[in-house]
Amino acid sequence: MSNGYLGGRNLFCCLAVCPLLVADGGSFLQPLIFQLLSCQKHRPRSKRIVAQPQISSFWWRLGPHILLQRVSKKLPPPTLLLKHPTWATRMTAGTQNIYQIMKLPLDIWLLTLQDMATEGDLEGLFHVAQTSRTLAHFALQLLYEHLPSTGSGDGASVIIRSMWWRSVIMSILGQTSQPYYAFVKVLSLFSLYCHLLDFNSTTQVRLSGCTGPELRDAFFSYPLQAVKIQDGKGRLDAGAVVVQVANLLSKRLQATGAAHDDATTLSVLERTNLPTGNWPEWASRPARLTSLSVRPIDSLSGDLARAIRKACPRFKELEWRDSSEFSSDKTAGEFIQNLAPNSLVSFQVFWNISVGPEIIQALGSQIMSLRHLGLPRLQNPALEALPLVGPLVGLKSFKLGFGWELPSMVPAGDIRQTIISWMKQQVSLKEFELEYYEETIEFVQELLGGLEKTKLESLTICQDYGSIASLSSQDQIRLYDEVGKQTALRSLCLSDDYEVLEEEDYPAVLDETQPQQLALANALALLTELRSLKISSPMSYRAFTSLSFRTARKTAGKTAGNTAPSGSKT
């Protein structure tokens, strides 16, 4: 979006579901069409919509006269545009001609649609959906699977999300020709909650020329009046609306799954700030539910886990976001313990969340199935409980971090050795991400040393509130030496918060005589399988040229058929 109008590609993304909404009670399209037509007066005269190839055919089917008229008193109001008598027939006639010309086997079309979905080509999916009803079913299914329900918050994304949610809710009520609700894979109730809050805004810039109440009235026009709930002040009650939509959706998913052998595709459910009493009922109804993303964690409970265990045999992923309540560990531990044993494949904790010992101990019931584990901000009690879990025989990726409080940053010596021994048992580990503070660098070095025989393929080392370059020379050299021992690495990331360095520290960092700079180059030269490298701290010119020289010699030795003398060090 620029200069007050929607650009060609953003415009087409907004139109991606317009025909669907016009055919399915598209009164919500009125403010959108008004915005798209009225914004032409801000465009340069040399750039008319007719010259946009990706959208001209669509608008031409609406009626050629619409393209040629500028916004004036002669332009019909949006209500008349929606009721244009020839729009549907022109759309059908034009698309059927395309389909007759390109007569391809259905299998070829389906492969093409899958490729479009993989590449994120929403425009292509939209075009194919117009060719025939048969292809529309497959194209729309992929479109609703991949069309994002969240956005950046600008006017275009607000309109896209409004159209997306309106069509989904209308399909729940049985007012659409296609069951859009059954196509959705990722349903974010949090996104709907935030989007409904936008309707209470009176800001016009953010909502692309329309105020929140105007979009609200269009969104909740027929047949969505039943789900419009307002508080005592006449403002939209976003929480109550989300609860009602979730109830309707879960019941429809349950009925559809029972009638069509679990034909729904919903697999990821996200929620936040909603009543916990309804949560077990919502999560247990979609039989194909595989992932759950919660914030805050107090929405987890043993009752919810038992409901999922009974009704959702495919459930395998749990994400915990946006909470720092250490007291909630007990409820989360109960949730994990009441899941089916060895059914959880991924448990990821995000952001500044302190994981306690109850959750760590509960993971002991999932040791055979866990493949991906993310545990940032572990404090000493949780670190002590980590070895009690036992070896995770199939663990592929592991993210480990340390707690905030200074007293808990440095584990005691016996705890270190216990954790290092436990890490050595993770023989299948391929990806390791480590977040640390400057006070824990010694433990980090010992931990990497314990993984010398583990053939890691990806390693990420990140220092919070500091920089690797701010460590002492000896600490840096030892850290780089341990990294150089992971000769099977294909991806390496040495990331830090480099902005915390003072300006006077930069000359020391770039000093070509510093041995840690050459130590880093030596370590990287040993990683012969490395394909991806990210270093946030700057390297001196001498270290960089040394690395380039060593890498060139190593490559030359390989291309020459390993003709380098035995025992020579490159």
User: What DSSP character marks residue 106?
Assistant: H
User: What DSSP character marks residue 503?
Assistant: G
- Beta-bridged to residue 435, according to DSSP, are 462
Contact 539, 521 (CB under 8 A): yes
Tell me the CATH number at 453.
Answer: 3.80.10.10
Residues 159 and 290 in one domain: no
Rounded to 5 degrees, what are φ and ψ at 535?
-130, 120
Residue 182 in any domain: the answer is yes
- pLDDT, residue 345, reads 94
Residues 241 and 252 in one domain: yes
Residue 112 in any domain: the answer is no
* CB crowding 216-225: b at 16 or more within 10 Å, else e: bbbbbbebbe
Q: What's 361-408 look like in SS3? A: HHHHHHCCCCCEEEEEEECHHHHHHHHHHCCCCCCCEEEEEECCCHHH
Neighbour order of strands in the sheet with 346-349: 186-188, 268-272, 291-295, 317-320, 346-349, 372-378, 397-402, 431-436, 458-463, 491-496, 532-535
Residue 343 in any domain: the answer is yes
Contact 176, 24 (CB under 8 A): yes
- pLDDT, residue 175, reads 86
Residues 377 and 493 in one domain: yes
- pLDDT, residue 283, reads 65
Residue 224 in any domain: the answer is yes
- pLDDT, residue 147, reads 57
The CB-side HSE value for 212 (13 A sphere, CA atoms) comes to 15
In this structure, which amino acid lies at residue 302? G
- pLDDT, residue 164, reads 78
Q: What's 318-349 look like in SS3? A: EEECCCCCHHHHHHHHHHHHHCCCCCCCEEEE
User: What DSSP character marks residue 514?
Assistant: -
Distance (Å, rounded) from C-alpha 270 to C-alpha 293?
A: 5
- pLDDT, residue 568, reads 31
Residues 202 and 313 in one domain: no
Residue holding tokens 């700057």? Answer: 538
Rounded to 5 degrees, what are φ and ψ at 377?
60, 40
- pLDDT, residue 146, reads 61
Residues of the chain under the 50 pLDDT cut? 1-101, 149-153, 205, 207, 259-263, 324-327, 406-408, 498-510, 540-541, 549, 552-570
**pLDDT tens sequence across 128-170:** 777 777 788 888 888 887 655 444 445 556 676 777 788 888 8
Residues 405 and 372 in one domain: yes
- pLDDT, residue 456, reads 93
CA-to-CA separations, 83 to 77, 79, 254, in angstroms, rounded: 10, 6, 36
Pairing state between β 491-496 and 532-535: parallel
Q: Using DSSP, state whether 524 is helix, strand or coil.
A: helix
Distance (Å, rounded) from C-alpha 274 to C-alpha 287?
A: 21
Residues 380 and 249 in one domain: no
- Beta-bridged to residue 532, according to DSSP, are 491
Count of structural domains within the chain: 3
Residue holding tokens 């026009």? Answer: 221
Residue 120 in any domain: the answer is no
**pLDDT tens sequence across 34-61:** 343 333 333 333 333 333 333 333 333 3
- Taking every pair of Cα atoms in the chain, the longest distance, rounded to a whole number of angstroms, is 87
Angle at which helix 53-62 crosses helix 8-15, to 10 degrees, equals 40
Residues 81 and 201 in one domain: no
Domain boundary among the residues 231, 259, 282 is at: 282
Domain boundary among the residues 256, 282, 308 is at: 282
Distance (Å, rounded) from C-alpha 210 to C-alpha 212?
A: 7
| Closest of 533, 440, 519, 523 to residue 476, by C-alpha | 519
CA-to-CA separations, 493 to 14, 67, 168, 432, 534, in angstroms, rounded: 38, 52, 41, 11, 5
- pLDDT, residue 342, reads 93
| Closest of 277, 340, 271 to residue 308, by C-alpha | 340
Q: Using DSSP, state whether 269 is helix, strand or coil.
A: strand
Distance (Å, rounded) from C-alpha 396 to C-alpha 383?
A: 20
Residue 274: which domain range? 148-282
Residues 169 and 261 in one domain: yes
- Beta-bridged to residue 343, according to DSSP, are none
Residues 407 and 417 in one domain: yes
Residue 114 in any domain: the answer is no
Query: What's the alpha-carbon Rg for the chain, to the nearest Å?
Result: 29
Residues 259 and 332 in one domain: no
* DSSP notation for 408-455: GTS--HHHHHHHHHHHHT-TT--EEEEEE-GGGHHHHHHHHHHTTTS-
Residues 235 and 299 in one domain: no
Domain boundary among the residues 249, 282, 315 is at: 282
Residue 371 in any domain: the answer is yes
Residues 378 and 433 in one domain: yes
Residue 141 in any domain: the answer is no
